[in-house]
Structure 1
């Protein structure tokens, strides 16, 4: 190829790159853009936040370099209800996998990025895929999840493999971003929201005065009607000890439970979906007409207290019995939902009628994802000072925008050594193949007397065990203890086992020590 043609192609390529990333290049320079391109990022989730993050990453050029990569995983398929807030998807995408579709779309936005999609749930069953080798190659993890359990799991994995995690979430007009940095900050699981204040039962049943009260009433109603009741009926049939346990309960509980069992198995047992509809219609009448009329019969509208004040005043709102209207959408929705839930209880085919979904606020999602990208820039720049990073808290309805430094990780000590949740003892199998060698190593290297060793929820060794069992366990290899005592097969891809130990110092005081990573021999 002639040199002039090569130069022309090079200039065109350079011009395209300059146009694509001109803002970043102007502010941060070419070296930083190259580092952005070589980032290896794991995006967990491809819903509303995931779509917005992937779009941002494509525009920034993340994963566009020779060493870069974006990997996104989401096990869900696209539904019609997703289209109003997950903007990478179109009507013709309904039924396709979210992760693969979003990857194709952002690839079309920026053909230079390297992106791979998986359809896996993150959890114990995929640890063979997202293993130590996988995490060792990552620059960072960004969560785009919609449930706390998955967030906590990914948080534990990032702490275990010492990888940065950018956590984010939205709820209507509210949003937050949390920066989790190895060896510096606390983790997502280090703190939790304070428990919600309980609402008095009389307020829930008869005197609600806020939407939170009616929401809790609906949750309790669902739990009692469609979960607890059917479970008791199932236990009555299949559990021979159910009656004995029930009859030992105090007060009127046995009679209440058995009446519900009789209702589910005899009195109100449906034989068709039409029976479920009839039940739901009568249930509506009981909840929104009969109960209210009984309450107003007990406390009429003109009732006064002993002091002469109106009974229905302040937080006590005067209720009104409803009249069922077949043209009223809310009445129809209750009957349809109740009938379908009842059908699920008894294994009938449901009459699936799509309900309305309150859309997430796209502006909140966009703002939160922008904040995530700002913190990702700081990570790529290599900052190690906590003051550089910011957790974000927003509420567009107020409006409120608050930022704070990430909270440092709690520091623990044993002897004069300090450690945080990011630290572990690391012991190689060849150095301590048996429990005896394991305990001796702690005594020799750390001046600690191990009194108990556990693997998960299984106790492998304890100094209060019978002497014959202690002698047996001390002779066993750590591998055999896990396989035979904990009944856990060690998969071929697993490079380390995780133990917890209790230990005492030279003064026989309990020592607060980190967990133990037991690195397996690969021979």
Structure 2
């Protein structure tokens, strides 16, 4: 009888399976539940599939990334303040989209109109934002970036990650005449300590190429100024599609702005100074140019210009003033901080016994002739070594020598 019983049981099970398949609910809505192991998450997993749930039975996806393409609803977190609502829910949505894109890139999702399908293109994310037509146009663009400091590094990194200027006609030119200093490493992230003393433009171009080997980039170790117009000639400027400024001084910004205005090139002006920043998009025949509303005169020249690439007498005066502070104040303060006047040797004798004399820092005074003569002689020698013309008024240092050059206090 075992064979008959086995057959009967099998027939009943087959009918039950067919009945269950016929009554299987068709879900109209699919919900993605994040943190499904919590109190609210487990309750939603229990309630949503019921046939008496508002809107009919729901299919619940508990953080199953492979089914994200089917999701029709995402939970909304409600707060009493609108700003909190926007902040919390925007963060939730960003996280979901990042996971969805990552799933699609790894072939986990089935794809949808909002989620790009898996692709071997390095700029798949940029295409999903800009569209393939605009992305192709940007890949074949010819862009000139002036400055390779903090903003310049950020631009180059973003361009490389977005896959721009990688097309057959694409070209990115970066220009900067400065070298890398130790103080640059904290904010110019394409540089490393072993790059100190090397050209900023060359190192940043190499770093961007390491991010995206298809990037077409050319580095120039020059300054954008009238003296370099043999390199940045009319043919070069006419062939550009746009220019991006990432500079630290007003004069260079105005010079680049004048060139873009003359050759009718779109121009993105950007710059930082301490905690302040500035951006301005200049479109020919549509917006005003940068020079139409000039920034106020600079109170202080960039330190990299003063110490390495001075090109006017003001830079030489600033350098001389900083050297006075360094030699006769800061170094003395450092020495007396390490060895105070009551310091003693290991034998108990006074550290400042003869012939050593305890030093005192010198406070700069614009009415002291010896101080003024130091500034005068140092700035003239500095100008001579760099071939900078020395104006006649330098022989009569004005009172403003003691002003406008902020000297930081010694951090004791």
TM-score when normalising by structure 2:
0.47
Per chain length, whose mean CA-contact separation is higher, i.e. which structure has more relative contact order (CA < 8 Å, sep 6+)?
1
TM-score when normalising by structure 1:
0.38
Structure 1 or 2, whichever has the larger Rg, is: 2
| Structure with a larger share of its residues in strand | 1
